[in-house]
């Protein structure tokens, strides 16, 4: 992609010996406006965002960048089991990926695990490039409904159809992606996982969204985030939407994000 086009760029980045697949849509990196950086869910990857990045780019006029974390999509694989603090370990890896992609100012947009990672990134001392955070179905503690939902997903996985659907997107990473997520969340030691202590260090504006019919979490997650971050926060519960509000209610989600970033003075350098 050259400096005058607003099209698509995709391929691989190599960071600290790890190969990550990525896709960039819209404005090129290095401009005077922030990039929307998408952080995928626990079973997600670049491809599973489908047309959501394109819709965000069209609605906001901003560039959108997505990549698959290690163990997902066509990125390099991982060795299981994942550590119980795997989300905390992912947060410091975001900055080097953005550096490799030439991304400075940004707004993080995270779904589920990605939303949790976005909050942890914004809480870090080196978070100066982050101008805002959007979460969709993020978790900051473990609920009974979360465990029940993952147990249901494991049963569906064992029947085989889910594995075949996900193989299309994850290829050889498909088993590691599923078991790395499922086995970690269902580990007895993970019930004590909680990142609420990190939230007061999040000083940027936050848009906190969740579907009212989310099968993996209650509205308590939304209110815990909005109440405890230090920056201004807007809580949005989307009627009829489940765990993937950008899939179930895409128009409402894109509109909410467009409104949020328009309020960040995104055209001004800082």
| pLDDT tens string 224-247 | 999 999 999 999 999 999 999 999
Whether 174 is in a domain gets the answer yes
Backbone angles phi, psi at 213, to 5 degrees: -105, 25
Which positions ≥6 away from 139 have C-beta within 8 Å?
Answer: 112, 113, 115, 116, 146, 216, 217, 221
The token pair at 165 is: 């659907």
Task: Give yes or no for residue 268 having a pLDDT over 50.
Answer: no
108 confidence band (pLDDT: 50, 70, 90): very high
What is the average pLDDT score of the chain? 94
Give the mean model confidence (pLDDT) for residues 1-26: 82
* DSSP category for residue 31: S
- Could you tell me the pTM of the whole model? 0.95
Whether 2 is in a domain gets the answer no
State percent of the chain over pLDDT 90: 91
Chain-centroid distance of CA 221 in Å reads 16
> Which one has a higher pLDDT value, 28 or 13?
13
5 confidence band (pLDDT: 50, 70, 90): very low
7 confidence band (pLDDT: 50, 70, 90): confident
Burial of 31 (0-12, 13-18, 19+ CB in 10 A): middle
The token pair at 237 is: 């519960």
Residue 264's nearest CA partner among 137, 109, 90, 75 is 109
Contact predicate 214/236, CB 8 Å: no
Tens of pLDDT, residues 190-216:
999 999 999 999 999 999 999 999 999
Question: What is the number of structural domains in the chain?
Answer: 1
Whether 253 is in a domain gets the answer yes
Whether 227 is in a domain gets the answer yes
Instruction: Write down the residue that tokens 């473990």 correspond to.
Output: 142
**Residue 255: count of CB within 10 angstroms of its CB:** 12
CATH of residue 192's domain is 3.40.50.1820
Whether 267 is in a domain gets the answer no
The span from the CA of 125 to the CA of 121, in Å, is 9
Contact predicate 146/185, CB 8 Å: yes
Query: Could you tell me the residue range of the domain that residue 112 belongs to?
Result: 8-262
Would you state the pLDDT for residue 28?
72
Whether 3 is in a domain gets the answer no
Tens of pLDDT, residues 157-196:
999 999 999 999 999 999 999 999 999 999 999 999 999 9
Task: Give yes or no for residue 270 having a pLDDT over 80.
Answer: no
Whether 268 is in a domain gets the answer no
Would you state the pLDDT for residue 30?
62
**Residue 65: count of CB within 10 angstroms of its CB:** 23
The token pair at 135 is: 């979460």
- Using only C-alpha atoms, the chain has a radius of gyration, in whole angstroms, of 17
Would you state the pLDDT for residue 27?
77
249 confidence band (pLDDT: 50, 70, 90): very high
The span from the CA of 120 to the CA of 1, in Å, is 31
Tens of pLDDT, residues 74-97:
999 999 999 999 999 999 999 999
Contact predicate 227/140, CB 8 Å: no
Alpha helices, DSSP H only, in the chain? 52-60, 86-100, 113-122, 144-158, 161-170, 174-185, 219-228, 245-248, 250-262
Strand 64-67, strand 18-25: pairing: antiparallel
Task: Give yes or no for residue 72 having a pLDDT over 50.
Answer: yes
Whether 270 is in a domain gets the answer no
State percent of the chain over pLDDT 70: 94
Alpha helices, DSSP H only, in 101-195? 113-122, 144-158, 161-170, 174-185
Q: How many residues are given for the chain? A: 270
């Amino acid at each position: 992609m050259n400096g005058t086009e607003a099209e698509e760029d995709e391929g691989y980045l190599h960071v600290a010996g790890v190969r990550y697949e990525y896709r960039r849509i819209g404005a090129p990196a290095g401009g005077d406006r922030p990039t929307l950086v998408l952080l995928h869910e626990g079973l997600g990857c670049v491809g599973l965002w489908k047309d959501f990045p394109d819709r965000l780019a069209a609605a906001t006029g901003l560039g959108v960048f997505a990549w698959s974390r290690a163990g997902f999509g066509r990125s390099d694989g991982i060795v299981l089991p994942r550590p119980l603090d795997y989300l905390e370990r992912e947060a410091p890896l975001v900055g080097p990926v953005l550096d490799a992609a030439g991304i400075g100012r940004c707004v993080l947009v995270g779904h589920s695990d990605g939303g949790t990672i976005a909050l942890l990134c914004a809480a870090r001392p080196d978070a100066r490039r982050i101008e805002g955070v959007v979460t969709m179905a993020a978790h900051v503690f473990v609920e009974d409904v979360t465990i029940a939902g993952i147990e249901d997903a494991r049963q569906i996985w064992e029947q085989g159809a889910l594995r075949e659907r996900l193989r299309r997107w994850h290829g050889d990473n498909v088993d590691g992606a599923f078991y790395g997520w499922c086995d970690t969340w269902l580990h007895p030691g993970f019930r004590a996982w909680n990142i609420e202590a990190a939230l007061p260090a999040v000083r940027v504006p936050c848009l906190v969204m969740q579907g009212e019919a989310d099968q993996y979490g209650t509205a308590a997650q939304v209110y815990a985030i909005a109440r405890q971050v230090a920056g201004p926060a807007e809580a949005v519960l989307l009627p009829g939407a489940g765990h993937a509000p950008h899939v179930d209610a895409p128009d409402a989600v894109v509109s909410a994000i467009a409104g949020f970033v328009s309020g960040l003075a995104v055209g001004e350098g800082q």
